[in-house]
C-alpha cells in the first residue's frame, strides 16, 4: 500500500519523472527576446509594518527567478504589460517542471513572444532560491510572490499599472489572497485555481477516486467523513495528540488496519503529511474569504477533465462567488477535453500527464495572451496612446 499517493493527490511535485519523452513545445535557445536570470531579495527586514506582518517568519532568503522581456524590435522598448507566475502545491521550480514538462516555461515563452514581460520564480529552497520550503504556508507563498510583483512594478520596461499574476492550481488559490493584499495588482489569472477550501478540494479528490472503484457506498462515506472531521479539527487549532487520534481512525476505517497498535504506528507515519506547514495552511485556506472583495479583472480557466481541481466544484464556485459579489470584470471558461495541466487528455488521470507529448494546449496559450493584452489596454493604455 502506497499511503502517500492515496492520501494526497494535489501536489504536482509528488509525481516522479518518467523517462525523458518528446516534449515538442519546450522552447529552445536562442530565444527571440531577452531572458535574464536573477536573484530577488525577499528580506523580512522592515516587513513587520506591511500587510504581510501576519505571515512574517523571521527568515531572510533570496528567490531565484527568470525575467523575459519582449523583443524591442517587434514591440518597442516598452513599457510592456507584465505578469508574475505562481506555482502550484509542493516544491516547484520556476518552470513548474513535472514529468519532463515545463508548463511555466512554455507559457512564459508564448506570452513574451506576444509582447508581455514575464517573471517566474523558484519556490523557497528549490533551484536557486534559498529558505526552507517545508515551512512555507500558503500565505508565505503569496508573500514571496509579492516580492516578484514589486520587482515588476519597479522595472523600467514594465508598465507599472499593467502588472498581473498568473497562478496554477494552489497558485490560483494564492492569487486572490495576494491581490487583496496588494492594490497595485492589475489583474489575476487562475489556471485550475481552487474556488473552495483546500479541505474541500482534498475531500473531493478522495470521493472522485473512490467512486471509480468497486468499494461499497458505506465505506466511501465513512472514509470521507473521517477526513472531514480531521480537517475541521485542524482548522479549529486542534493539538497534535487529538489529530493523531483522528488520523488513527482514518487508518482503521479507510485502510482497514485491524488493531490499535498498528493503526497508531500508521497514524504516526501519516500525520506529518497532513500537519506540515504547507499542507495545514492549504487545508484551511478558503478563496471565498478573498474573492468577493476583489474588483479587478479575473480570468479563471479549468479543464473539463481535471481530476485534481474539478470544475464542477471549483470553477462553478468561483463563478458563483464573483457573480454574487458583483465582479463584472471576470471571465470564467471551462475548456473541454483538458486536464489539470491543460493538456488534451483522454480521462484526466494524474498518471496520464507523462504519457502526453503536449505540455499545454495551444488554445489555452492563445486565450492567455489575448486576454492579458486586451485587459492591460483597458486598464492603462500604452504611453503613446494615452
Fold exhibited by the domain 24-196+290-379: Rossmann fold (3.40.50)
* Sign for the pseudo-dihedral over CA of 10, 202, 255, 239: positive
Q: Helix 170-181 vs helix 138-154: angle between axes, to the nearest 10 degrees?
A: 60
pLDDT, residue 316, reads 94
DSSP 341: T
In this predicted structure, what is the pLDDT of residue 219? 87
Q: What angle do CA 109, 95, 100 make, to 5 degrees?
A: 105
Q: Cα(361)–Cα(170) distance, rounded to whole angstroms? A: 20
Positions in the chain short of pLDDT 70: 1-20, 44-60, 381-386
Query: Edge-to-edge, what's the strand order for the sheet holding 80-86?
Result: 34-41, 62-69, 117-121, 80-86, 158-168, 188-191, 298-303, 330-335
Spell out the domain ranges in the chain: 24-196+290-379, 198-283
Q: How far apart are CA 172 and CA 243, in angstroms?
A: 28
pLDDT of residue 324: 95
Does residue 92 contact residue 126 with C-beta atoms inside 8 Å? Answer: yes
CA-closest candidate to residue 139, choices 231, 47, 39: 47
Model pLDDT, residue 57 = 55
Cα separation of 145 and 161, whole Å?
A: 17
Amino acid at each position: 500500500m502506497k499511503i502517500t499517493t492515496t492520501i494526497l493527490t494535489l501536489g504536482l511535485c509528488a509525481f516522479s519523472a518518467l523517462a525523458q519523452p518528446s516534449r515538442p513545445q519546450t522552447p529552445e535557445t536562442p530565444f527571440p527576446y531577452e531572458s535574464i536570470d536573477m536573484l530577488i531579495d525577499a528580506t523580512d527586514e522592515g516587513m513587520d509594518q506591511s500587510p504581510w506582518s501576519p505571515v512574517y517568519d523571521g527568515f531572510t532568503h533570496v528567490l531565484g527567478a527568470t525575467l523575459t522581456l519582449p523583443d524591442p524590435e517587434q514591440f518597442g522598448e516598452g513599457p510592456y504589460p507584465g505578469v508574475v507566475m505562481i506555482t502550484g502545491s509542493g516544491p516547484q521550480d520556476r518552470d513548474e517542471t513535472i514529468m519532463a514538462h515545463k508548463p511555466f516555461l512554455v507559457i512564459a515563452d508564448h506570452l513574451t513572444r506576444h509582447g508581455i514581460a514575464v517573471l517566474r520564480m523558484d519556490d523557497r529552497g528549490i533551484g536557486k532560491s534559498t529558505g526552507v520550503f517545508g515551512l512555507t504556508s500558503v500565505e508565505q507563498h503569496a508573500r514571496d510572490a509579492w516580492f516578484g510583483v514589486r520587482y515588476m512594478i519597479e522595472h523600467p520596461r514594465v508598465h507599472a499599472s499593467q502588472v498581473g499574476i498568473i497562478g496554477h492550481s494552489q497558485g490560483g488559490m494564492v492569487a486572490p489572497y495576494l491581490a487583496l493584499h496588494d492594490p497595485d495588482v492589475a489583474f489575476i489569472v487562475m489556471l485550475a485555481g481552487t474556488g473552495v477550501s483546500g479541505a474541500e478540494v482534498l475531500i473531493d479528490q478522495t470521493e472522485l477516486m473512490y467512486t471509480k472503484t468497486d468499494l461499497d457506498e458505506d465505506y466511501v462515506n465513512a472514509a470521507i467523513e473521517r477526513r472531514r472531521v480531521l480537517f475541521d479539527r485542524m482548522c479549529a487549532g486542534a493539538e497534535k495528540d487529538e489529530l493523531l487520534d483522528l488520523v488513527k481512525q482514518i487508518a482503521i476505517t479507510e485502510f482497514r488496519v485491524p488493531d490499535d497498535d498498528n493503526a497508531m504506528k500508521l497514524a504516526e507515519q501519516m500525520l506529518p503529511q497532513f500537519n506540515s506547514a504547507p499542507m495545514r495552511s492549504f487545508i484551511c485556506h478558503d478563496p471565498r474569504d478573498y474573492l468577493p472583495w476583489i474588483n479587478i479583472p479575473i480570468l479563471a480557466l479549468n479543464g473539463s477533465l481535471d481530476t485534481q481541481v474539478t470544475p464542477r466544484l471549483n470553477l462553478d464556485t468561483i463563478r458563483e462567488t464573483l457573480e454574487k459579489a458583483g465582479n463584472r470584470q471576470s471571465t470564467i471558461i471551462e475548456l473541454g477535453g483538458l486536464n489539470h495541466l491543460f493538456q488534451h487528455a483522454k480521462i484526466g488521470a494524474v498518471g496520464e500527464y507523462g504519457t502526453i507529448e503536449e505540455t499545454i494546449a495551444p488554445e489555452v496559450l492563445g486565450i492567455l495572451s489575448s486576454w492579458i493584452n486586451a485587459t492591460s489596454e483597458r486598464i492603462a493604455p500604452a504611453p503613446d496612446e494615452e
